[in-house]
Chains A and B, each alone.
Chain A
């Protein structure tokens, strides 16, 4: 596999990981967690 394929894939992975990290961070916000707990009736 040529190096430029790998470079682009790494960039896409970084974007993906960044998006996941952002989503986790957003979910970890107290107000979001409260809503989830309310939904789970906890």
Chain B
């Protein structure tokens, strides 16, 4: 009986204790605990985030480096992987920082709950004091709630800031890309690889940093709006126009360096085609020398770009001035482009001349080895009049020696033209949008001969065309008119530059087809235009 009384008394005492704990401890303390713990929760969010942003020892988020880019950023629509450079903070590091801060806050709360649970599990006796334990439980709940509200407010605010920054970035990138591309499209700028066998042409070359790292897409983007930071730490521009001023451009296909000014200067690509021994090389070389003189007369200039082009122009000048014979073009590999920097009035342009051996134009298989034909502004077809049967057949007797001196092309011009034109059509090229200059060469040997009756030094395109039709080349001429958007015929002598004392190209100058194609590409070097421009 005394035990029962004792138990009842103990229970009553415990109940009273609980009651008084509720009244005198829990009652007055819970508002303070609630407010204080909520404040601590909010403070926890702010302190952890500040620590991460300031990079305090042990709380800094892992730094997103260029080697992490492929995991952190979406892949690019390109044949190449994303360039190795430091990404913009907005696209990788911001997520890493905010993610790390959020993760640490959640981890702190989880640890707190885990510690409380563990404490009660290890010492279940403390549950006897449950009214008092309600206070830390309330505090933990309030702290968790405070941290949650703090997270929503703080990360929401930073999210809005980052979204605004992202929208600003989008605008800047769009404007930069648009202006950069717009100026270059208006200029007709492209990057042409002059290297033999490549000749890849596009608007966006790769650029090489001083450390050797190649940047395939230098444009503004996730790697930077105004500048990008290479893996080595060097700052690089984000427009092609700026990059061309200080970086080495490289071909996207063969990775070899491009000519200075590639992709920013007006780019004119003129391939010369025709059968072997037609006189293509002579036309190109004498045409280059004539162009130099014409531009000098016009107050402009024409300079070779790159050592190979310098050598070629030097050889061409010697050849034209000495009247030496032209060496046969090597047919073992596709030609490298000859690049000339043309400056006239306020216009600068790169002119690429491609002179492949005639053997490459004898079959469609060999044609396919000449990628520079694909994206040319215009083409020059070299027609050797002495290879036309109607002309050759008229040169008999004493005139036979003139035919032999002309060293006529062995292939009929019609066949050479048709093979090349068919090959270009097969590749799906829109020839209708391109001009074709048909250069009837060797005029110095032809004029004055009986088959040249009707031709003269100043023969206009129509007169040359009529003469060619008269010689039975209707198929070739009709085909050219059908294939190309515009065809013009030139009577040309490539024996020398055929310029007057002032340097202006004469009507039979080998520069005439090139000048016409340059004019069609927006680079007018005609005297009247120059006067107007100046």
Check A20 against B35 for contact (C-beta < 8 Å). Answer: no
> When the two chains form their complex, are residues B46 and A20 in contact, meaning their CB atoms are under 8 A apart?
yes
Within the complex, the shortest CB–CB distance from B137 to chain A, in Å, comes to 19
Question: In the complex, are the beta carbons of B35 and A36 less than 8 A apart?
Answer: yes
Tier of interface size on chain A: 10 to 19
- Interface residue? B326 (CB, 8 A): no
Complex CA gap A40/B32 in Å reads 6
A8/B94 in contact, CB under 8 A? yes
Nearest 3 Cβ contacts at the A-B interface: A8-B89, A9-B53, A40-B31
The answer on a CB contact under 8 Å between B55 and A1 is yes
B residues whose Cβ falls under 8 Å from a Cβ of A: 28, 31-32, 35, 46, 49-50, 53-55, 63, 86, 88-90, 93-94, 97, 153-154, 157-158, 161, 224, 229, 233
Contacts A8-B89, A9-B55, A11-B161 aside, 9 further interface pairs with beta carbons under 8 A come to: A4-B89, A5-B86, A9-B54, A12-B97, A15-B158, A16-B53, A36-B35, A40-B31, A40-B35
B229 touching A41, Cβ below 8 Å: no
- A-chain residues with CB within 8 Å of residue B53 when the two chains form the complex: 9, 12-13, 16
Nearest CB in chain B: distance from A34 CB, A? 14
Cβ contact of A16, chosen from B46, B90, B224, B233, cutoff 8 A = B46
A2 and B158: CB pair below 8 A? no
**From DSSP, what is the main secondary structure of chain B's interface residues?**
helix
Q: List 18 A-B contacts (CB under 8 A).
A: A2-B86, A4-B86, A4-B88, A7-B89, A8-B89, A8-B90, A8-B94, A9-B54, A9-B97, A12-B53, A12-B158, A13-B50, A15-B158, A16-B49, A16-B50, A20-B46, A40-B32, A41-B31
Do B31 and A2 have beta carbons less than 8 Å apart?
Answer: no
A13 to chain B, nearest CB (A): 5
Q: In whole angstroms, what is the CA distance A23 to B32 when docked?
A: 19
- Cβ 8 A contact of B154, one of A2, A5, A16: A16
- Give which listed residue, A11, A13, A41, contacts B28 with CB less than 8 A: A41
| B40 shortest CB reach to chain A, Å | 14
B residues near A4, Cβ cutoff 8 Å: 86, 88-89, 224, 229
**Bound complex: CA A42 to CA B408 (Å):** 114
What mask results when residues 1 to 39 of chain A are scored 1 for a CB within 8 Å of chain B, else 0? 110110111011101100110000000000000001001
> Which A residues are CB-close (under 8 A) to B224?
4
Count of chain A to chain B residue pairs whose CB atoms are closer than 8 Å in the complex: 55
Distance in Å from the Cβ of B60 to the closest Cβ of chain A?
Answer: 9
> In the complex, what's the smallest C-beta–C-beta distance from B93 to chain A, in angstroms?
5
Of all chain A residues, the one with the shortest Cβ separation from B39 is: A27
Residue of B nearest to A15 (CB): B161
Q: Are B229 and A12 in contact (CB under 8 A)?
A: no
Shortest distance between the CB of B281 and any CB in chain A (Å) = 53
A26 to chain B, nearest CB (A): 12
With both chains docked as a complex, state the minimum distance between the C-beta of B13 and any C-beta of chain A, in angstroms: 29
Q: Which residues of the other chain, B, contact A1 by a CB distance below 8 angstroms?
A: 55, 63
Note all chain A residues with C-beta closer than 8 A to B63.
1, 5
The answer to whether A19 and B94 touch across the interface, beta carbons within 8 angstroms, is no
Q: How far is the CA of A39 from the CA of B232 in the complex (A)?
A: 58
- A residues within 8 A CB of B46? 16, 20
Contact partners of B158 in chain A: CB under 8 A: 12, 15-16
CA distance A7 to B28 in the complex (A): 47
Closest A residue to B28 using CB positions: A41
* Closest partner residue, chain B, to A4 (CB atom): B89
Which B residues are CB-close (under 8 A) to A41?
A: 28, 31
Closest to A6 in B: B55
Q: Within the assembled complex, what's the spacing in Å between the Cα atoms of A17 and B53?
A: 12
Closest to A38 in B: B31
**Please, which residues of chain A bring their CB within 8 A of the CB of B97?**
9, 12
Whether A2 contacts B233 by the Cβ 8 Å rule is: yes
Nearest CB of A to B400, in Å: 78
Per the bound structure, the CA–CA distance linking A41 and B33 in Å amounts to 13
Given A9-B54, A12-B158, A16-B46: A39 and B229 within 8 A (CB)? Answer: no
| Minimal beta-carbon separation of A9 from chain B (angstroms) | 5
Q: Which residues of B contact A39 (CB under 8 A)?
A: 31, 35
Contact A5 B93 (CB under 8 A): yes
Q: Which of B93, B153, B157 is the one whose CB lies under 8 Å from A15? A: B157
Measured CB to CB, the nearest residue on chain A to B92 is A5
In the complex, residue of chain A having the shortest beta-carbon distance to the beta carbon of B31? A40
